[in-house]
Chain A
Amino acid sequence: MIVLSHEPIDPAALLRDFLRGLDDAGAIASFVGLVREDGGDAVEALMLDHAPGLTEASIARAAADSRDRWPLLKLIIVHRVGRVEVGEAVVFIATAAVHRRAAFEACDFLMDFLKTDAPFWKKQISRSGDKWIEPRDGDYSDSARWRKREL
């Protein structure tokens, strides 16, 4: 399931729902990304821009890709769009598999994808002014790990 939410999301409730009816699963991995204060910069919120249609299709392809790579029983990706306040969850991912390695790796893969390859744009709103956030070099090398494995 893929959801773009304009409203705050509740990771605990999402995980509880995800766990229902998973009798065959031996492993669930989940990830919650939060909007954080950025050092001395008094961050108030992030503004998440996205390209309706393109963004959903792009995430759906990555989800299908993860199912091709790992034997997943179920997955959910919830990503906020619009204004997300400090302390709120900006993204929630959960993956279910028979064994833990598939669940961990698929969750990691999907998160790396969202950071650099999904059509989202983040603007940091802080008291000292607004600025658009570009992925860190580390985000690109994290995503590249999954491509190297294909060689």
Chain B
Amino acid sequence: MVRVVFYGKLADLMGRERDATLDLAAETVAAVIRRLAADEAAFAAALASMRVRYAVNDVMAAPETTVKTGDEIAVLPPFSGG
């Protein structure tokens, strides 16, 4: 199980966080997100419409980064501060 945390527009769609099961002991961020998107058309559409970045355990991470049980994936839409 990994925790997936959503921010900004994506938190409105998905809630702040969800637990996601892993099919394998270690999977990529992209695989976990793809599985969530398969169940949620609105999330899939949002992902396709923006450049989303990821962090794993509070460190910016590429979609190819592998995660294991207990890790936390943050799903980050384009930043907009100030």
Chain B 1-28 near chain A by CB (<8 Å), digits 1 or 0: 0000101110110000000000000000
A119 in contact with B78 given A49-B8, A54-B55 (CB within 8 Å):
no
B58 interface residue (CB < 8 Å to A): yes
How many residues on the A side are at the interface (Cβ–Cβ under 8 A)? Answer: 26
Cβ-defined contact, B82 with A111, below 8 A: yes
Residues of B within 8 A of A91 (CB): 81-82
A53 in contact with B58 given A121-B9, A132-B8, A132-B9 (CB within 8 Å):
yes
Cβ-defined contact, A115 with B82, below 8 A: yes
Cβ-defined contact, A134 with B7, below 8 A: no
Which of A79, A111, A118, A121 lies in contact with B7, CB distance below 8 A?
A121
Residues of A within 8 A of B74 (CB): 51, 54
Which DSSP category, helix, strand, loop or mixed, fits chain B's interface?
Answer: loop
Nearest-CB distance from A120 to chain B (Å)? 3
Cβ-defined contact, A49 with B11, below 8 A: yes
Nearest-CB distance from A67 to chain B (Å)? 20
Nearest-CB distance from B41 to chain A (Å)? 19
Interface residues of A in 96-136 (CB under 8 A from B): 111, 114-123, 132-135
A1 to B82, CA, bound (A): 17
A90 interface residue (CB < 8 Å to B): yes
Q: Which residue of A lies closest to B53 (CB)?
A: A119
A104 to B81, CA, bound (A): 20
A121 in contact with B82 given A49-B7, A49-B11, A132-B9 (CB within 8 Å):
no
Chain A 132-151 near chain B by CB (<8 Å), digits 1 or 0: 11110000000000000000
